[in-house]
């Protein structure tokens, strides 16, 4: 780093100077807005008057009374409460759109268009605006106007069918918002693509992303295998075509072992003290082990069960065999590797003492990108945003009195300073 270069952790991301209007709720839209904010954009979150983003009410779980779902998806934003379905509220949203670079929305399909904000109208208001629209099933087709949630699309696209059944035989889903957050990632990529096009062509674009498209990308390998005539097996933690590759029992838990080559297989056997297993019929090659999967898994499980989890993890690490102990997520905050990355950082919040967040999962020039503000209180920035649109204090108060806008939590003072 040269002496005149400002460290990444002390300078805003490359989207600094761009304004994003986020009309969204739940997970996918807010996460998209949060990432854009992490990358330096000014993000104005438009919320329902008196209620806000649905995730504000997703509690428990909560942290000092504040929904952890909301806290995890809304840093680096300002909050304005606005009823854009009223004539005066629509006029406010029009002004916000005129001054924005990006509009992100994941409301119910056609909700914004029915309120008068079609893509054509948005183009009239701001030809340079990038309009990012999120849906469940995509912009066209027989299910285009249906609302959707992450577990519904996991079920619809075969992800649930891939999962092991519960103890009672019922289906289970991936217990993470993989489609919502995956869609948010594609949304950010789409926004960056559209901004680059705007740099080249001078006009904005209408970008569509959906949970269905995201799910199709995640299960693309299954579609390819189907087209090739291959059948998918339920392998639990295993992986088709590679054995051993999965979770094996220990005396106090499980260890995940990924011996993805013949060399790693032989290293594994030497490390656990059983090189003779390679001579067993069907065990000497990956093709043979794949055909004798059950026997290989049983033989290795018998050996790994004699070790403690962390004991065998250390042995395999020393032998150069890829492995990981199967742990609870609650163990991560104190993990030395996580700490070394600075992945969890403090961020002052007016209602949550000792608040900390998981930052953007990247480093630039060896530094994490900075945070500018904690997730906003509901309507905390309404007055400031409207004043920047040229409204007087009396005009803003009149809109509050009419219920067109709100400032529900504006009286709660935020702490000074920032964390990064």
The ranges assigned to domains in the chain are: 8-218+346-406, 245-327
pLDDT digits (tens, 9 = 90+) for 63-102: 999 999 999 999 999 999 999 999 999 999 999 999 999 9
β-bridge pairing 405-406 and 367-368: unpaired
Residue 135: band (very low, low, confident or very high) from pLDDT cuts 50, 70, 90: very high
Angle between helix 309-319 and 262-271 (nearest 10) = 130
What superfamily would CATH give domain 245-327? Answer: formyl-coa transferase, domain 3 (3.30.1540.10)
- Rounded to the nearest 10°, the torsion over CA 283, 285, 290, 293 is 20
What's the pLDDT score for residue 317? Answer: 97
Residue 299: band (very low, low, confident or very high) from pLDDT cuts 50, 70, 90: very high
Considering only 127-131, 243-247, 338-342, 367-371, which range has the smallest mean pLDDT? 367-371
Residue 367: band (very low, low, confident or very high) from pLDDT cuts 50, 70, 90: confident
Largest CA distance in the chain: 86
b or e along 26-40 (b: 16 or more beta carbons within 10 Å of the residue's beta carbon)? bbbbbbbbbbbbbbb
- 3-state secondary structure at position 235: coil
Is the pLDDT at 1 greater than 60? The verdict is no
- Residues 402-420: what's their mean pLDDT? 70
Q: What is the pTM of this model?
A: 0.89
Is the pLDDT at 273 greater than 90? The verdict is yes
Element (H, E) at 104: strand 102-105
Q: Strand pairing partners for 249?
A: 254
Q: Is the peptide bond before 336 cis (omega within 30 degrees of 0)?
A: no
- The more confident residue out of 291 and 7 is 291
Residue 239: band (very low, low, confident or very high) from pLDDT cuts 50, 70, 90: low
Considering only 10-14, 91-95, 106-110, which range has the smallest mean pLDDT? 10-14
What's the pLDDT score for residue 417? Answer: 38
Mean pLDDT for the chain overall? 92
What's the pLDDT score for residue 7? Answer: 41
What are the angstrom distances between the C-alpha of 317 and each of 247, 248, 256, 324? 16, 16, 12, 9
Residue 414: band (very low, low, confident or very high) from pLDDT cuts 50, 70, 90: very low
- Residues 266-275: what's their mean pLDDT? 97
For residue 163, the 8-state DSSP code is S
What's the pLDDT score for residue 412? Answer: 62
pLDDT digits (tens, 9 = 90+) for 215-238: 999 999 888 878 888 776 666 666
Q: In the Cβ-directed half-sphere of 55, how many Cα atoms lie within 13 Å?
A: 19
- Residues 201-216: what's their mean pLDDT? 97
Is the pLDDT at 415 greater than 60? The verdict is no
Residue 4: band (very low, low, confident or very high) from pLDDT cuts 50, 70, 90: very low
Considering only 8-12, 288-292, 357-361, which range has the smallest mean pLDDT? 8-12
Rg (CA), the chain: 26
At the topology level of CATH, where does 8-218+346-406 sit? Rossmann fold (3.40.50)
Closest CA to 252 of 312, 318, 296: 312
What's the pLDDT score for residue 269? Answer: 98
pLDDT > 90: what percent of the chain?
A: 83
């Amino acid at each position: 780093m040269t002496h005149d270069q400002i460290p990444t952790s002390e300078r805003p991301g490359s989207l600094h100077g761009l304004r994003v209007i986020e009309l969204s709720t739940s997970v996918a839209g807010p996460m998209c807005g949060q990432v854009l904010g992490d990358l330096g954009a000014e993000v104005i979150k438009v919320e329902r008057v008196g209620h806000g983003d649905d995730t504000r009410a997703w509690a428990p779980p909560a942290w000092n009374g504040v929904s952890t779902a909301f806290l995890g998806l809304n840093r680096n934003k300002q909050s304005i409460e606005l009823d854009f379905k009223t004539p005066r509220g629509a006029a406010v949203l029009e002004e916000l759109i005129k001054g924005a670079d990006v509009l992100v929305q994941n409301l119910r399909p056609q909700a914004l268009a029915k309120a008068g904000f079609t893509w054509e109208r948005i183009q009239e208001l701001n030809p340079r605006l990038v309009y990012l629209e999120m849906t469940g099933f995509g912009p066209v087709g027989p299910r285009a106007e249906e609302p959707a949630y992450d577990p519904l699309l996991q079920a619809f696209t075969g992800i649930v069918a891939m999962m092991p059944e519960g103890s009672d035989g019922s289906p289970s889903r991936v217990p993470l918002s993989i489609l919502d957050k995956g869609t948010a990632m594609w949304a950010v990529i789409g926004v960056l693509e559209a901004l680059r096009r705007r740099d080249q062509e001078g006009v904005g674009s209408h970008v569509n992303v959906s949970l269905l498209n995201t799910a199709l990308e995640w299960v693309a390998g299954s579609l390819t295998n189907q087209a090739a005539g291959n059948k998918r097996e339920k392998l639990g933690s295993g992986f088709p075509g590679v054995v051993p590759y999965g979770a094996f029992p220990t005396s106090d838990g499980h260890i995940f072992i990924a011996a993805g080559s013949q060399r790693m297989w032989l290293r594994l056997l030497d490390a656990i003290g059983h090189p003779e297993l390679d001579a067993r019929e069907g065990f000497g090659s990956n093709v043979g082990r794949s055909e004798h999967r059950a026997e290989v898994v049983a033989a290795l499980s018998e050996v790994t069960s004699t070790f403690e989890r962390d004991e065998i993890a250390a042995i395999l690490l020393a032998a150069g065999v890829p492995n990981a102990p199967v742990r609870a997520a609650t163990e991560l905050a104190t993990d030395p590797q996580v700490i070394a990355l600075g992945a969890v950082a403090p961020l002052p919040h007016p209602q949550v003492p000792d608040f900390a967040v998981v930052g953007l999962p990247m480093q630039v020039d060896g530094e994490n990108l900075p945070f500018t503000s904690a997730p906003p209180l509901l309507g905390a920035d309404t007055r400031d945003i409207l004043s920047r649109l040229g409204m007087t204090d009396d005009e803003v108060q009149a809109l509050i009195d009419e219920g067109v806008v709100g400032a529900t939590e504006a009286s709660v003072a935020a702490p000074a300073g920032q964390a990064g």
